[in-house]
Structure 1
Amino acid sequence: MSNVIPYSLFSEFDIDLFKAGKHFRLYEKMGSHPMELNGEKGTYFAVWAPTARTVSVIGNFNDWRAGEHPLNVRWDSSGIWEGFLPGVCKGEIYKYKIHSENHGVVTEKADPFSRYCELPPQNASIIWEDTYKWQDKDWMGYRKDKNSLDRPFSVYEVHLGSWKKSKDNTFLTYSELADELVDYVKEMGFTHVELMPIMEFPYDPSWGYQVTGYFAPTSRFGEPGGFKYLVDKLHQNDIGVILDWVPSHFPEDAFGLGFFDGSHLYEHPDRRKGYHPDWKSLIFNYGRNEVRAFLISNAMFWLDQFHADALRVDAVASMIYLDYSREEGEWEPNMYGNNENLEAMSLIRELNQAVYGEFPGIQTIAEESTAFSGVSRPVDLGGLGFGMKWMMGWMHDTLEYFKKEPIYRKYHQNDLTFSMTYAFTENFMLPFSHDEVVYGKQSLLYRMPGDEWQRFANLRLLFGYMFTHPGTNLIFMGGEFGQSSEWNFQNGLDWYLLQYDFHTGVQQLVKDLNKVYKDNPALYEKQFSPEGFQWIDYGDHENSVITFIRKGHDAKNDLIVVCNFTPALRENYRIGMPKPGKLKEILNSDDKKYGGSGSSNKVIKTSKIPCHGYEKSIEITLPPLSTIIIK
C-alpha cells in the first residue's frame, strides 16, 4: 500500500498560468522539494505527464519498483502528477516511471526540474536543496551599472572542464575554480566570464550543448552550492557571469525529455520542426504553452537562483528559420509562406521581455549568424529583444583577412573595412569563440602567416584591432596567451607555454588592452553608436594601413587608432588630425614587453600640414604588424 500523501504546491492561479504558458517560476512548484508535512520530513514531487496512465517515483528507497510510490494526477486537466513521500529526503536518487496511455509505452525518466543529477554516465536525479548564503549583495546592487550597454564588456569564454586540470589530471572542483579561475580573470582584467554550458549533460564531446538537466549545474565539478560559490566569488571580484543557455535542441537520450510520457511532450511532433539534422537532436515545441513556460522558467531560474548576469543564447538562427540546415522538401513554410519560425520568434520575444522585466541589469546575448534584422532591437520596436548579438560576419572576414600573407593584404582591405558598413545595425559583440579553434581550424596563433615573430605580431595586431573596433569583445580561453594547439576538451590548456617570452608577451598585451578599454570611455560609451566612430583613412590599400577615431561623450577623451597590417616599418607616416595639440601613444602592440621590435613614438605634435581632409596632421612611425592607440 502506498504511503504517498496527497499534497500540492499549486494554486488554481498557478495552473491557469501554466496552461497559458505564462508561469515563469515553475521551478518553485515542479520537481522534487524536500519539506516537512504534518511534522514528518519527506519530499514533494510534481511532474508534467499528460498522456500518462500512471506515474510512480522509483529509487533505492523502493528498490526501483513501480507502483510502490504512485503520484496522483490533478483533477484540472493540467497533466500534472504530484504527491508527498514521507521519509524520502535530500540525497536520495530517483526517477519517474511513466506508464503511458499511448499503446502501453513505459518510460523511466530523470526529473526535468531536478536541481542535481548523478555523475555521468549515471543519470538519475537527486533530491536536493542547498542553503547557500550569498555574499554578493554589493555586486547585485550595482551590477546594473557594470552590466549596461555603455560600459566595458570584455569577456573570457571558459570551458570549465578543460581550462586547467588538477595534478592527477582530473577536473578542478567548483571551489578550486573559485580560487584559481577567479584570480586569473581578475589579474587579466576581463569584465565578464562566459561559461560554456554548465547545465547537466551526459556526453563530454558535446561540450555541454546537449543538455539533459536544464535546472542542474553539472555534478562533474561538485554540488550546486559549489557552483553558487564560484559565481559568488566572481561577483565579489567585480566579474560578471554569462551562462551559455541552449533552448534550441536537446538530446534523445532515453532518460531525458524526449518522448517523455510516451508522447511528443517537449519536442515538436512534426520531425520537420522537431528534429535537428546537424546535431541529431530534438527541437522544442515552441508553440506549446507548457513548453514555453518550461523554457522561460529555466532562463529565470539561472538568473534568480544562481545570480547569473547574462544569458548567451545558443544557435538562435536554428530556432528562427524553419529551413535551417534543411533541403527543399524537408521543411514547411509558415502561414505567410516564408521560412521564419513564428512560434520560436514569439518565444524569444516573450523570453527577453520577461527576463529584462524581472531582473533589471541583466543582458541576453544572441549567437545568431545570419542577417536577420533587429536581433538586438527592443521587442516594442519590432526586434527580438536581445541586448547584444555576436558579430559573426566580422569574425569570419577578419580571420580570412589575417590568414593572408601581408604582401597580398592590399588587395583585400575591403574585407576589414566592410564591417563598418553594418557595425551599428545591431549591438554587436566581437567573438573569437571556441568554435574558431577546433575541427582543424587551428589555434588563432597558427592561423596567422609568417615566421614565429610574424605569427605573434599578427596575433597582437589582431587583438589590438579587435579591442578598438566598435562593439564588445570575447576571447576563448588560451587565445589570450597564444595557445599553439587546437582546443581539446579532454586536456587542460597549455599553460607551460608561459615560460616563453612570446606567449607571456601576448598575455601581457591582452591584460593591457583590457585596462585601456576600461580606462578610456571613448572605447565603450558609444560602442554601439555611429557617433562613437569616425574614419580618418580607410583607403591606404597600398600600405595596408587603416586609421580611425573612437569617441565617447567628451571629445577630449577621443582616441586615434592606427593599424599597420604589414611587416614594413613605416617612418614619417602622416595622418590628418581633426584638432591641434600634443598626443601620447598609450598602447603599442609592437612594444618590446609584448615581444615586439620596440618601435614607438615618444613625442607626437600636430603640424599645420593638411592631410586626409583636415588642416592639421601628425607624423609618426608605424611599427611592423601593429596596432597603436594615441590619446
Structure 2
Amino acid sequence: MEKCHENNIAVILDFVPVHFAIDGFGLNNYDGTPLYNYPNDAVGKSEWGTCNFQHSRGDVCSFLNSSAYYWLKEYHIDGLRLDAVGNLIYWQGNSGRGENREAIRFVQNFNKGLKQRVPHTLLFAEDSSSYQGVTRPVEQGGLGFDYKWDLGWMNDTLDYFMKTPEERPSFYHKLTFSMMYFYNEHFILPFSHDEVVHGKKTIIDKMYGEYEEKFAQVKALYMYMFAHPGKKLNFMGNEIAMFREWDETKEPDWFLLKYPIHDSFLHFMRELNKIYLTHPSLSQYDFSERGFKWVDCHQEQDCIYVFKRMSDKETIVAFFNFHNVDKTYTYKVDHPETLTLLLNSDNELYSGKSHNLDKEIHTKNEIEMTLPAYSAQFYIVK
C-alpha cells in the first residue's frame, strides 16, 4: 500500500455490507444459527443467492463498522466503494417493498463514524435507485457518501452510442437528460468492471459500426465523458481499446499496442487525461451550475451538442458531432470570442482523418464551423 502512495496512487477498496457468501467457512449460520443473516429467507436471501446482513442487530453493525475501520486504519486504504447500496435502502432493492430503516440507519452511522475517525476517507455509493440524499451529509438527513455512481448516465450514454446514426435523432435527449437531475447528488460517471463482462462487450465494442468507426466514436465518447460534469471512472483495458471482455485470470491485452490504431488511442487517452488534470474548467465546479452551460442542445437531426465548462481561470467550449457525416455548424455568441483548439479527436495523431481544423477562430457574432463525422473538439475561450 505504501508503494502505491509513494507513487501518488490512491487505493479504493470494494466493501460489501449488504450481503455475504453462503460458503460453509464463512458467516452463514456462524454459530449454528442465523447470527449475521435473517432467519427468514424472504428477506434473508438476496437475488444473488447470498445471505443478507441483518442490520437490525447491533453486533452485526459493529462487525461491519469494525471491519471497515480496520482496513482504513491498519492498511491505510484511501476509500471504500459500497456495493449495491439500493439493496440497503430498500428491502431486496425493491422500492415497492419500502425502505429498510434499520439498514439506512446503519449506513448513516457507518459513514459518519468512519469520517470522524479517518476524515480523509472517500466513500462511494454504487446505487442504482432514485433515493434522494445519498451524498447529502448525515446531519442533514442524507446517507453521508462523498460520491454516487451515475448509473443512469452510463446506461443512457452507452445505449445512445449503440444506435445507428439514423436512429440517434430519436434518442438525442438521452445525452441531455443527465443535466436535468445532475445537481441532486455528487456523481461519478462510471465505465466500470460491470460494463466489460458477462457478454456485455467492452466499451469500444459497444460502439455502433465497423472497426474504424468504433475507434472514431469511442474517442468522441471519452471526450464527452471528460467534458461532462462529474468525476470519472474508467476500467482497466479501456485505455487501450480492448475488444476482449475482462477476465480476472488474464492480464490486459498489451499486445494490442503493436497495432498503430490501438497505440494512437492510448496516446489519445493520455492526452485527454493530461488535459483533464491541467484544465480546472473540467472539474472545479463539477457540482455547481457555475461550471456548466448548454450552448446548443437542440440539434436533434444533426446529432450535434455544444456546451461550455467554466472555472475561475478559464472556459472551455466542447463541440460534438455524433453523426456519421461531416456537419456545418453555426456557432453564435453574445460577445466576441477567440477559440483556441485544445484537442480534436479526429487528429491524425490519433488515427483520425486529419481534418484541417482552424487552430484559432475569431468570431464577433457567429461563425460557421466544420464538425467532422463522429468527432469532438475542445476549444479554450478567450
Query: TM-score category by the smaller chain?
Result: over 0.9
Corresponding residue number in structure 2 for 1:425? 184
The 5-angstrom pairing of residues 147-546 of structure 1 reads 231-276=1-46, 278-324=47-93, 339-546=98-305
Q: 1:380: Cα distance to partner?
A: 1.4
Aligned with residue 577 of structure 1, among 333, 336, 346: 333
Contact 1:526–1:532 at 8 Å: present in 2 too?
A: yes
What do residues 126-171 of structure 1 show as CA deviations (whole Å, max 9, x unaligned)? xxxxxxxxxxxxxxxxxxxxxxxxxxxxxxxxxxxxxxxxxxxxxx
Q: 1:325: Cα distance to partner?
A: 6.0
Aligned pair in 2 of structure 1 residues 578, 388: CA closer, same or farther (>3 Å)?
Answer: farther
Counterpart of 1:461 in 2: which secondary structure?
helix
Q: 1:323: Cα distance to partner?
A: 4.0
What do residues 311-366 of structure 1 show as CA deviations (whole Å, max 9, x unaligned)? 1111111121114269x9xxxx6xxxxx1011110010011111111122221000
Q: Distance in 1 between matches of 2:68 and 2:347?
A: 44
What do residues 464-492 of structure 1 show as CA deviations (whole Å, max 9, x unaligned)? 11111000111111111110112222322
Q: Distance in 1 between matches of 2:198 and 2:334?
A: 46
Contact 1:574–1:618 at 8 Å: present in 2 too?
A: yes
What do residues 417-441 of structure 1 show as CA deviations (whole Å, max 9, x unaligned)? 1111011111000001111112211
Counterpart of 2:298 in 1: which secondary structure?
strand
Counterpart of 1:497 in 2: which secondary structure?
helix
Aligned pair in 2 of structure 1 residues 235, 578: CA closer, same or farther (>3 Å)?
Answer: farther
Letter in 2 for 1:312: R
Q: 1:579: Cα distance to partner?
A: 3.8
Corresponding residue number in structure 1 for 2:316? 559
The TM-score with structure 2 as length reference comes to: 0.95
Length, aligned pairs only: 380
Q: Distance in 2 between matches of 1:483 and 1:325?
A: 35
Aligned pair in 2 of structure 1 residues 379, 600: CA closer, same or farther (>3 Å)?
Answer: farther
What do residues 111-140 of structure 1 show as CA deviations (whole Å, max 9, x unaligned)? xxxxxxxxxxxxxxxxxxxxxxxxxxxxxx
Contact 2:230–2:286 at 8 Å: present in 1 too?
A: yes
Q: 1:567: Cα distance to partner?
A: 2.4
Could you tell me which runs of 5 or more consecutive residues in structure 2 were left unpaired when the two chains were aligned.
none
Q: 1:382: Cα distance to partner?
A: 1.4
Give the CA RMSD over aligned residues. 1.6
Aligned identity (percent) is 39
Letter in 2 for 1:387: D
Q: Distance in 2 between matches of 1:579 and 1:243?
A: 48
Corresponding residue number in structure 2 for 1:102? none
Q: Which has the larger radius of gyration?
A: 1
Q: Distance in 2 between matches of 1:526 and 1:618?
A: 28
Counterpart of 2:330 in 1: which secondary structure?
strand
Q: Distance in 2 between matches of 1:504 and 1:264?
A: 54
Q: Distance in 2 between matches of 1:341 and 1:289?
A: 15
Deviates more, 1:470-479 or 1:440-449: 440-449
Aligned with residue 628 of structure 1, among 359, 374, 377: 377
Q: 1:600: Cα distance to partner?
A: 4.5
Deviates more, 1:616-625 or 1:407-416: 616-625
Contact 1:395–1:432 at 8 Å: present in 2 too?
A: yes
Aligned pair in 2 of structure 1 residues 280, 325: CA closer, same or farther (>3 Å)?
Answer: farther
Q: 1:565: Cα distance to partner?
A: 0.2
What do residues 164-208 of structure 1 show as CA deviations (whole Å, max 9, x unaligned)? xxxxxxxxxxxxxxxxxxxxxxxxxxxxxxxxxxxxxxxxxxxxx
Corresponding residue number in structure 2 for 1:601? 357
- The structure whose residues are more often helix, as a share, is 2
